[in-house]
Amino acid sequence: MKKILFIGLVLVAAYFGGTESGFMAPPRGDAGVGVGHIDDHIDGALAQAFEQRRSDVQVRGSGEVVRVLADDNDGSRHQRFIVRLASGQTVLLAHNIDLAGRVAALKAGDAVEFNGEYEWNPQGGVIHWTHRDPRGTHEAGWIRHDGRTYQ
């Protein structure tokens, strides 16, 4: 778990220097991002985990891809992208492409749904475990994009 948290923090640090406005936006009051979401309660659960600085929380959500980042190729390879939830909060998705297929043709403006494990950080958080667990001890996660499920 510490390794995953470390990887998440490395991803955050790598990205944080590459944007003029910072990495994650704080939640906004409006929900006008143009992407439907699964359920206000689910989006609220992510906001609550962020506010309470909770980690190791299994979450579902949906939102709009706002930025596709370079893959993290240190250790297990991860496809990385930032998603803005309907609340305005943004989260980094780190999708293990050694265990699951790459989300094809992903670009800013695309709608995605996800199920994974939330890890808190000051910039909004990281969602990982968006794949099946090869050992079968962790709830399987997934990403849905353009009518296809990746896990």
* pTM across the whole model: 0.73
pLDDT higher than threshold 50 for residue 72 = yes
Number of structural domains found in the chain = 1
Amino acid identity for residue 139 in this structure: E
Average pLDDT over residues 78-96: 95
- The 3-state DSSP composition of the chain as helix, strand, coil percent (nearest 5) reads 20, 30, 50
* 16 phi/psi in degrees, rounded to 5: -55, -35
- Which tens digit of pLDDT belongs to each residue from 40-54? 455 677 888 989 999
Provide the CATH number for the domain around residue 59: 2.40.50.200
Average pLDDT over residues 90-115: 97
The range of the structural domain enclosing residue 78 comes to 2-150
